[in-house]
């Protein structure tokens, strides 16, 4: 329960955090930039599983795509996402091999669960 003297700003901030919407809003620009620079084919085989301190962690669906991205495209993708966002928020991209099928939430729920852990 909120105190009587809680400001609208504090109440909204509290609601956004408790609902997980703060994570969504904070990462929305990064998610959109990734989808744009990676393209539909690559974005469909990857998902964002974290964005912390300028490091974008991307889970890749197959070892062959992981190897291809890591060997040939990782630096270009990092530069492109930085340019797309208009600043240096994404310092680097870290890939990891994962298993997932079909549409994903691009890691938003997973990151929120990690942030909620004590």
**Alpha carbon 73 to chain centroid, angstroms:** 18
Please identify which residue in the block is written with the tokens 């890939």: 95
**Of 56, 65, 63, 50, nearest to 105 (Cα)?**
50
Q: What is 8-116's CATH topology?
A: GMP Synthetase; Chain A, domain 3 (3.30.300)
**Of 117, 110, 114, 107, nearest to 28 (Cα)?**
107
Share of the chain above pLDDT 90, in %: 40
Contact, 47 vs 106, CB < 8 A?
yes
Model confidence over 12-46: pLDDT tens digits? 888 888 876 776 676 788 888 999 999 999 999 99
Helix, coil or strand: residue 10: helix
Report domain extents, the chain.
Answer: 8-116
* pTM of the entire predicted model: 0.66
């Amino acid at each position: 329960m909120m105190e009587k003297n809680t400001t609208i700003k504090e109440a909204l901030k509290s609601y956004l955090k408790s609902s997980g919407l703060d994570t969504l809003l904070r990462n929305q620009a990064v998610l959109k930039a990734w989808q744009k620079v990676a393209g539909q084919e690559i974005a469909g085989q990857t998902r964002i599983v974290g964005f912390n301190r300028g490091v974008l962690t991307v889970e890749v669906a197959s070892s062959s795509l992981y190897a291809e991205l890591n060997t040939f495209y990782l630096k270009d993708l990092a530069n492109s996402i930085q340019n797309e966002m208009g600043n240096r928020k994404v310092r680097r991209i870290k890939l990891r091999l994962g298993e997932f099928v079909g549409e994903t939430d691009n890691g938003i729920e997973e990151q929120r669960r990690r942030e909620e852990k004590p």
